[in-house]
């Protein structure tokens, strides 16, 4: 093996990349905090059983599994945060008054082919709102998703909203064999009307139900879709689902978010544990969603605490990719200052560095012996915007030169004066 | 891609001319350069659409990543690549059959079931493996990139899986069809995000294409 090889689907992030990821994370988490969500930390691995609850074979089959030496049970790396939070709430927070507003930011592991935005380790930041089955709770999730996009700086995004029970109602009425169900869902997932029609045509069920399912492939678009969907809500379950979706839509409309919402009742991306309104976040610049979530009223109950809930998460690398595609990533920024000191006695440099650090600036010192140009090159390569130069030949011993590397301008200060102005804030820069 | 513009990938080769006609039938103007294969990239007169002519096998990739919003590609390629894209429309042209064929003079008669193992040469390894697995037949897939019909003659394999139009090529090479796997026509594929974020344009185009197909407009 090549000593520098790295497994497929994982990444290392260099300082500029890590800074960007943390920048996006901070923005999204700040939205969660402003809406009153508090962070929880979940373990990196748990019993596979936890992730298996209602996850279907999709996610569960993609978990990285290994054996617990002590119990012989299967463990899995965190493949989804929602079941972990559900387990945690059922196990430790039943006494807590509802609703619970919980947030997380963590890496998730799934065995995916690394293609089109999929990685085997990726970062999710999300929330779970536990204890309400009201449309307001669903609308809160979607509003926060919109605010998250805005806070990150995205301009062209849409929240694609659906209701899984609408489709499920029709599938339940059809009651297909697992094989047939798989075929129908696969055709629906691709909006492949031809295959869907071929699959449904020979079935001995009423035409209205078949037409209802067939029409799912075209039930996407603006508010008008909700009206069209009424015509095709052929089962009671579908009708109730649509009613619920309309209520959520009305709340969102009242919040003034209609322009960011599109409806799609034919989507099948939801996990098996989803039970109501589900959504995905799309941007114009990226071919795949940057986040999503939905209602899961039965999942926490599977851990012994029946309790309605909803939640969603952003995928941080995908948010970054969208920002990059829109060309609005913040420029990389290294430390605020580099101190380049040619004096043999380092006390002055230490004092300046300490003063700046105490005020909150990030200050690095060049500790490699080289000429001034070499040091300035180092600063530029490290995205350091300012250099403080001391002890250069011909400079007075009590003076420093402040060089702004972006404008290539220089100012000379007395060291004492500079430090005083930093302390009293008459000299300052954005941090 | 300019914001608001829809990028459409068209397949180089046998499906191209008809694809251009279809889009022209929807009212798109300015595609003459593509039809005469002088250019691989062009915008229509209004600037609302940008067309790219690409290798057919690359089109699902472009569309899945959102590098183009839509594309036209044969169902055979979609079955082989299993990409995560929408396939909302059968364009109903370019029909070809994907078949299993074998040398005419081969002693074994009947279906491949009963063979414990079979060597199959194809350009479609994923699809071929899936097809035989579903039938409970173990196959050794030999992945080739062209002139598949020569492989049995040279003794490389006992079966081939390939696209046939009239079946003449098979005959000329001493092969006969054993089974049809599927019929593959040209399909419209759409990127998931494009359908959501540009649904008015995308949906409008799907509807105009549907009308063009039904009206025999192509």
B191 touches chain A (CB under 8 A): yes
| Option in A190, A193, A286 nearest B193 (CB) | A286
Q: Which residue out of A190, A217, A267, A269 would a mutagenesis test of the B interface target, given it has the greatest number of B Cβ atoms within 10 Å? A: A190
B126 touches chain A (CB under 8 A): no
Strand B70-74 with A399-404, pairing: unpaired
Q: Are residues B130 and B173 in the same domain?
A: yes
Examine domains A15-325 and A337-424 and report if their fold is the same: no
Task: Show which of residues 16-55 on chain B sit within 8 Å of chain A, judged by CB atoms.
Answer: none
Q: Are residues B72 and B105 in the same domain?
A: no
d(CA B146, CA A156): 44
Instruction: Look at the block and give the residue holding tokens 């990389």.
Output: A332
Please check whether residue B56 lies inside any domain of the structure. yes
Q: Are residues B136 and B180 in the same domain?
A: yes
Both structure tokens of A60: 């569960």
Which CATH number fits the domain that encloses residue B66? 3.40.190.10
Model pLDDT for residues B12-62, shown as the tens digit of each residue: 999 999 999 999 999 999 888 787 777 888 889 998 999 999 999 999 999
Q: Strand locations in A51-99, DSSP E?
A: 65-67, 74-77
d(CA A69, CA A75): 10
CB spacing of A191 vs B197 below 8 angstroms: no
Does residue B111 have a pLDDT over 60? no
A155 touches chain B (CB under 8 A): no
| Option in A191, A280, A282 nearest B88 (CB) | A191
**What tens-digit pLDDT sequence spans chain A (431 residues)?**
888 999 999 999 999 999 999 999 999 999 999 999 999 999 999 999 999 876 665 666 789 999 999 999 999 999 999 999 999 999 999 999 999 999 999 999 999 888 878 899 999 999 999 999 999 999 999 999 999 999 999 999 999 999 999 999 999 999 999 999 999 999 999 999 989 999 999 999 899 999 999 999 999 999 999 999 999 999 999 999 999 999 999 999 999 999 999 999 999 877 788 999 999 999 998 999 999 999 999 999 999 999 999 999 999 999 999 999 988 888 888 999 999 999 999 999 999 999 999 999 999 999 999 999 999 999 999 999 999 999 999 899 899 999 999 999 999 999 999 999 999 999 999 88
> According to CATH, what is the number of the domain A15-325?
3.30.930.10
CA within 13 Å, CB half, B149:
15
Q: Are residues B167 and B103 in the same domain?
A: yes
Both structure tokens of A327: 């060309």
List of chain B residues whose C-beta atoms are within 8 Å of the C-beta of residue A223 = none
Average pLDDT value for residue range B178-195: 94
pLDDT confidence of residue B108: 55
Q: Are residues B89 and B100 in the same domain?
A: no
Q: What is the CATH T-level fold of the domain A337-424, as seen in this structure?
A: Rossmann fold (3.40.50)
Number of domains in chain B: 2
Q: Are residues B155 and B131 in the same domain?
A: yes
pLDDT confidence of residue B168: 85
List of chain B residues whose C-beta atoms are within 8 Å of the C-beta of residue A287 = 63-67, 191-194
CB spacing of B84 vs A116 below 8 angstroms: yes
CB spacing of B90 vs A194 below 8 angstroms: yes
Does residue B154 have a pLDDT over 90? no
Q: Domain map of chain A by residue range?
A: 15-325, 337-424
Closest chain A residue by Cα to residue B202: A221
CB spacing of A160 vs B89 below 8 angstroms: no
A194: Cα separation from own chain's centroid: 35
Q: Are residues B147 and B170 in the same domain?
A: yes
| Option in B86, B89, B197 nearest A282 (CB) | B197
Q: Which residue out of A191, A281, A290, A319 would a mutagenesis test of the B interface target, given it has the greatest number of B Cβ atoms within 10 Å? A: A191
d(CA B128, CA B141): 8
Please check whether residue B1 lies inside any domain of the structure. no
Model pLDDT for residues A266-300, shown as the tens digit of each residue: 998 777 889 999 999 999 989 999 999 999 999 99
Please check whether residue B82 lies inside any domain of the structure. yes
Domain range enclosing B83: 6-94+185-214
Please check whether residue B208 lies inside any domain of the structure. yes
List of chain A residues whose C-beta atoms are within 8 Å of the C-beta of residue B200 = 221
Burial code of A288-304, b = ≥16 C-beta within 10 A, e = fewer? bbbbbbbbbbbbbbbbe
Closest chain A residue by Cα to residue B191: A287
Report DSSP letters for A206-271, one per residue. Answer: -HHHHHHHHHGGG-EESTHHHHHHHHH--SHHHHHHHHHHHHHHHHHHHTT-GGGEEEETT---S-
The H or E element that residue B97 is part of is strand B96-103
CB spacing of A157 vs B85 below 8 angstroms: no
Banded model confidence at residue B217, pLDDT cuts 50, 70, 90: very low
Closest chain A residue by Cα to residue B4: A284
CA within 13 Å, CB half, B132:
28
Please check whether residue B34 lies inside any domain of the structure. yes
List of chain A residues whose C-beta atoms are within 8 Å of the C-beta of residue B86 = 190-192
CB A280 within 8 A of CB A313: no
List of chain B residues whose C-beta atoms are within 8 Å of the C-beta of residue A284 = 3, 193, 197-198
pLDDT confidence of residue B1: 60
Q: Are residues B120 and B57 in the same domain?
A: no
CB spacing of B88 vs A193 below 8 angstroms: yes
Closest chain B residue by Cα to residue A194: B90
Q: Are residues B120 and B145 in the same domain?
A: yes
The CA distance from A56 to the nearest CA of chain B, in Å, is 19
pLDDT confidence of residue B134: 86
């Amino acid at each position: 093996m090549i000593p520098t090889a790295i497994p497929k689907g994982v990444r290392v992030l260099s300082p500029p990349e890590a800074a960007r990821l943390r920048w996006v994370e901070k923005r999204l988490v700040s939205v969660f905090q402003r809406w009153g969500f508090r962070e929880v930390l979940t373990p990196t691995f748990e019993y596979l059983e936890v992730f298996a609850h209602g996850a279907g074979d999709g996610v569960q089959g993609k978990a990285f599994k290994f054996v617990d030496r002590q119990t012989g049970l299967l463990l899995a790396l965190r493949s989804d945060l929602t079941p972990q939070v559900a387990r945690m709430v059922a196990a430790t927070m039943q006494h807590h008054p509802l609703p619970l507003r919980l947030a997380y930011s963590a890496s998730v592991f799934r065995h995916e082919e690394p293609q089109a935005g999929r990685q085997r380790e990726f970062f999710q930041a999300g929330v779970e709102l536990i204890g309400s089955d009201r449309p307001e709770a669903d609308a809160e999730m979607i509003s926060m998703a919109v605010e998250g996009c805005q806070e990150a700086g995205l301009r062209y995004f849409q929240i694609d909203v659906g209701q899984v029970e609408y489709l499920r109602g029709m599938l339940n009425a059809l009651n297909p064999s697992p094989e047939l169900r798989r075929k129908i869902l696969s055709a629906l997932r691709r909006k492949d009307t031809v295959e869907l029609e071929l699959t449904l045509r020979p079935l001995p069920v009423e035409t209205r139900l078949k037409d209802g399912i067939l029409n799912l492939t075209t039930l996407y678009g603006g508010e008008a879709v909700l009206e069209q969907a009424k015509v095709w809500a052929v089962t009671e379950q579908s009708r109730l689902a649509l009613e619920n979706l309309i209520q959520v839509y009305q709340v969102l409309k009242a919040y003034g978010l209609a322009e960011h919402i599109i409806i799609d009742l034919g989507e099948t991306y939801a996990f098996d544990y989803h039970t109501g309104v589900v959504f995905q976040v799309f941007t114009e610049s990226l071919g795949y969603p940057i986040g999503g979530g939905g209602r899961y009223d039965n999942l926490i109950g599977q851990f012994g605490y029946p309790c309605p809930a909803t939640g969603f998460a952003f995928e941080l690398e995908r948010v970054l990719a969208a920002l990059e595609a829109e060309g609005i990533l913040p420029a990389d920024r290294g430390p605020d200052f580099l101190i380049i000191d040619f004096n043999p006695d380092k006390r002055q440099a230490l004092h300046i560095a300490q003063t700046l650090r105490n005020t909150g600036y990030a200050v690095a010192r060049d500790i490699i012996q080289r000429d001034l140009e070499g040091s300035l090159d180092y600063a530029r390569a490290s995205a350091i915007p300012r250099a403080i130069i001391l002890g250069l030949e011909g400079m007075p011993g009590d003076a420093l030169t402040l060089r702004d590397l972006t404008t290539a301008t220089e100012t000379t200060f007395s060291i004492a004066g500079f430090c005083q102005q930093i302390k009293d804030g008459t000299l300052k820069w954005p941090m | 891609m300019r914001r608001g513009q829809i990028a459409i990938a068209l397949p180089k080769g046998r499906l191209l001319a008809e694809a251009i006609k279809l889009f022209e039938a929807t009212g798109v103007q300015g595609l003459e350069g593509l039809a005469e294969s002088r250019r691989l990239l062009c915008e229509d007169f209004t600037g609302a659409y940008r067309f790219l002519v690409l290798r057919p096998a690359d089109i699902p990739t472009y569309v899945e990543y959102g590098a183009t919003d839509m594309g036209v590609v044969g169902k055979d390629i979609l079955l082989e690549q299993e990409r995560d894209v929408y396939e909302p429309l059968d364009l109903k042209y370019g029909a070809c059959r994907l078949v299993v064929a074998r040398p005419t003079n081969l002693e074994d008669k009947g279906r491949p079931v009963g063979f414990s193992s079979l060597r199959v040469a194809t350009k479609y390894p994923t699809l071929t493996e899936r097809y035989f697995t579903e039938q409970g037949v173990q196959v050794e897939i030999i992945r080739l990139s062209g002139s598949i019909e020569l492989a049995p003659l040279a003794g490389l394999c006992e079966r081939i899986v390939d696209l046939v139009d009239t079946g003449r090529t098979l005959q000329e090479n001493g092969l006969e069809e054993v089974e049809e796997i599927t019929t593959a026509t040209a399909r419209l594929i759409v990127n998931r995000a494009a359908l959501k974020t540009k649904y008015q344009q995308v949906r409008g185009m799907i509807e105009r294409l549907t009308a063009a197909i039904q009206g025999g407009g192509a």
